[in-house]
Copies of this chain bind each other. A is one copy, B any other.
Amino acid sequence: MGISKSDFFTEEQNEISNLMKALGHPARIAIIEFLLKKESCVCGDIVSELPLSQPTISQHLKELKNVNIIKGSVEGNSICYCLNLETLEKIQNYVQLTISGATKCKPGECC
């Protein structure tokens, strides 16, 4: 049914999965990498950078904005986007502290 039973999961689990979901599309990864490469805010270059239509890109930007991975500010008649370091750090911290805490099984264990 597509009903997401997010009530049964912790706040943190819902939050991190939302962030990961936002990273779960190559176009959005490409957008983020483009912003990274520029080492600064990017004003009005994103549409010409991606092999997608302007409405589609606008939609992807919106999704990244919704989870605070990027922020945008109006600059003249174009919009400047930049990465939100705070959110990126949240992702980094989760991966660092949680995921990388995985331990190798001892020899003789099942995996």
Assess whether A73 is interfacial by the CB under 8 Å rule: yes
Report the contact-size class of chain A (Cβ under 8 Å from the partner): 35 or more
User: A80-B110, A99-B91, A110-B82 in contact; A23/B17 too (CB < 8 A)?
Assistant: yes
Contact present for B40 and A109 (CB under 8 Å): yes
Residues of the B chain whose Cβ atoms lie less than 8 Å from the Cβ of A104: 85
Contact flag A95-B98 (CB < 8 Å), given A29-B16, A71-B111, A111-B73: no
Q: Which of A1-46 contact B (CB under 8 A)?
A: 4-6, 8-10, 13-14, 16-18, 20-30, 32-33, 35-36, 39-41, 43
Cβ–Cβ contact A9 & B26, under 8 A: yes
Judge whether A101 is part of the interface by a CB distance below 8 angstroms. Answer: yes
Tell which of B9, B71, B99 touches A32, judged by Cβ atoms closer than 8 Å.
Answer: B99
Q: Given the known A-B contacts A85-B102, A85-B104, A95-B95, are A33 and B13 also in contact in the complex, defined by CB atoms under 8 Å?
A: yes
